[in-house]
Structures are given as structure tokens and as C-alpha cells.
Amino acid sequence: MGLPVQKVPEYFCELPLSGLKVKFRPFLVGEQKTLLLMQESEEQGLIFNAVQTLIKEVTFGEISDAGKLPMADLEYLFLQIRIKSIGETTKLNLICQVDECGASNPIDLDLNDVQIDTSNIPDMKVELSEELGVIMKFPTADLQKYADAEESDAFINILKSSIDTIYDAEDTYDTKDYADREMDEFLNSLSLQQVEKMGEFLNNTPTLSHIIKYKCIKCQKKNSVMLKGLENFF
Ligand SMILES: [Zn+2]
């Protein structure tokens, strides 16, 4: 007789920005080991690839390219998978920010409290002039690859990739149908103010973040720290 093999449980969650409903299973032991190894790596690209592969596997191939999800959705999904696989709490060591204290504060964080605030989603439509405007889309996770580039390059590349449609008085233009060079020409024809208006959309895109308030165990002063990014919520 063969050994019993446990049936893997299945869970569902809805991604806050795209509204996608996703079925997933927890990580298995082998997969968790890979993750721990990745965690020790400083290379963002490596970590991102591992996360992508893992998401594809635990969603039964449904999310075949996690890089195409809005960044916040990917982080949220990963967090839900983590909760079901490893547990609902994580232990953090937060360093007191009060001058010259620097004490390390152990904090238990309930990961269910980490949410994406969707109450102030910016308008997807950005009017650039009376006759010209764009419809934006949320920056996808794979745009993180630009984050290592020089800051101004990163901004313009992320912006360019986050324009879904351009419209004027006559027509609408799906940016998918246009070459990179044409997009550059379009962007170069805009004023600084117009580019900033689109930049505001990027800045106001919801992210996975969580504010922790605690009293330092050493100096007793109040600290408030905002956690952002997957690495804080492993
Ligand atoms: Zn302190």
C-alpha cells in the first residue's frame, strides 16, 4: 500500500486593484525552502523571479505571468499565500528611530491587518488639455525592473508603460499599437506640467503598506513606522 498523500487545500482571494478572483494553494515545504534562500539574497531580480514562479505554481497556472499584475495586487496575493502557508503573524525587529537610542523592538504583526487602501484610487483619465488626454493603467509588477535604473529614467519608463490609451478630439489611440519611438515622441511633445499630472497618478496608485505604532522598550518614546514592500511581510 502506498503512503497517504495529503490533499492540498484551496483558497480564494480577490485582488483589490484588478478585481481578479484567484484560486491558490499554500506553498509546499520544498517551495518554502526556495523562498527562504531567496530571502537571503540581496538581488531584487532573483527574488522577483522566484516569487513569479511560485505564484504560477500555487495558482495552478492561472496567474502565468505575475509581472503583468499591478504591483500592489501581486504583493497582496503573495501576502495571502504567505498567510495560508506560513501563518498569520510575522515577527519583526524594528529599530527605534529616536536619536541615539537605536534599540531593537520585537513586534508581532498580524498580517491580516495589512491591506491595500482602495478608498482613494486616482482617476484613470488624466486630461492634459482641452483636446488631449490619456487613460492610465496601474503600473505592473514587472516595471520594478526599472527601479534600479537612474531615477529620471525609471520614472519616464514606468510612466510610458502605464499609459493605456491616448485620446484627442478626433480619435483614441491604443498605445499597444505604437512603437516605443512613437511613444517617446508623444511624451517629448508634452510640457513638464502635463507630465507631472500623469506622474501624480503613479504617485497616488495604492500600494501594500502598513503603519506600525509602538512604544520603544528602551527609551519608552513613541515610534511610527510605515512598512512597504514584500520583504517586510515575509
Ligand atoms: Zn528607543
More confident: 233 or 107:
107
Average pLDDT of the residues of the chain: 90
Q: Which residue has the cell 526599472?
A: 146
Least confident among 27-31, 98-102, 112-116: 27-31
Domain assignment present for 3: no
Residue 128: per-residue pLDDT: 97
Q: Are residues 157 and 102 in the same domain?
A: no
Residue 153: per-residue pLDDT: 80
Domain assignment present for 142: yes
| Range of the structural domain that residue 50 is part of | 11-115+208-233
Least confident among 47-51, 163-167, 220-224: 47-51
Which residues contact residue 77 at a Cβ distance below 8 angstroms, ignoring those fewer than 6 apart?
13, 15, 22, 24, 55, 59, 63, 66, 69
Please tell me the distance between residue 224's alpha carbon and the centre of ligand 1 in angstroms: 12
Q: Are residues 42 and 82 in the same domain?
A: yes
- Residue 134 φ then ψ, to 5°: -135, 155
- Residue 88 φ then ψ, to 5°: -90, -10
DSSP codes of every residue in 86-139: T-SEEEEEEEP-STTT--EEEEEEEGGG--B--TTPPPSEEE-SSS-EEEE-PP
DSSP 168: -
136 CB-contact burial (10 Å; exposed 0-12 / middle 13-18 / buried 19+):
buried
Residue 179: per-residue pLDDT: 96
Provide the grid cell at 10.
Answer: 484551496
DSSP three-state, residue 116: strand
Provide the grid cell at 3.
Answer: 503512503
Report the relative pairing of strands 125-127 and 104-110 from DSSP bridges.
unpaired
- Model confidence at 77, pLDDT cuts 50, 70, 90, reads very high
Instruction: Quick: pLDDT tens for 111-132.
Output: 999 989 889 899 999 999 999 9
- Model confidence at 44, pLDDT cuts 50, 70, 90, reads confident
- Model confidence at 152, pLDDT cuts 50, 70, 90, reads confident
Q: Over range 185-191, report the average pLDDT.
A: 96
Domain assignment present for 70: yes
DSSP three-state, residue 57: helix
Task: For residues 22 and 14, give the distance between their C-alpha atoms in angstroms, rounded to a whole number.
Answer: 6
Q: Over range 36-50, report the average pLDDT.
A: 76
Q: Are 77 and 14 in contact (CB under 8 A)?
A: no
Please tell me the distance between residue 216's alpha carbon and the centre of ligand 1 in angstroms: 4
Task: For residues 100 and 218, give the distance between their C-alpha atoms in angstroms, rounded to a whole number.
Answer: 11
Task: For residues 231 and 19, give the distance between their C-alpha atoms in angstroms, rounded to a whole number.
Answer: 24
pLDDT at residue 148 tops 70: no
pTM for the structure as a whole: 0.86
Residue 143: per-residue pLDDT: 85
Q: Are residues 18 and 111 in the same domain?
A: yes
Q: Are residues 197 and 82 in the same domain?
A: no
Write out the H or E segment, with its range, that includes residue 106: strand 104-110
Please tell me the distance between residue 108's alpha carbon and the centre of ligand 1 in angstroms: 17
Q: Are residues 148 and 106 in the same domain?
A: no
Please tell me the distance between residue 37's alpha carbon and the centre of ligand 1 in angstroms: 32
Q: Over range 123-143, report the average pLDDT.
A: 95
Please tell me the distance between residue 232's alpha carbon and the centre of ligand 1 in angstroms: 20
- Model confidence at 234, pLDDT cuts 50, 70, 90, reads low
pLDDT at residue 47 tops 70: yes
- Count Cα atoms within 13 angstroms, Cβ side, for 186: 22
* Number of domain units in the chain: 2
Q: Are residues 199 and 212 in the same domain?
A: no
Q: Across 26-30, 37-41, 210-214, which has the greatest mean pLDDT?
A: 210-214
Please tell me the distance between residue 109's alpha carbon and the centre of ligand 1 in angstroms: 19
Q: Are residues 199 and 132 in the same domain?
A: yes
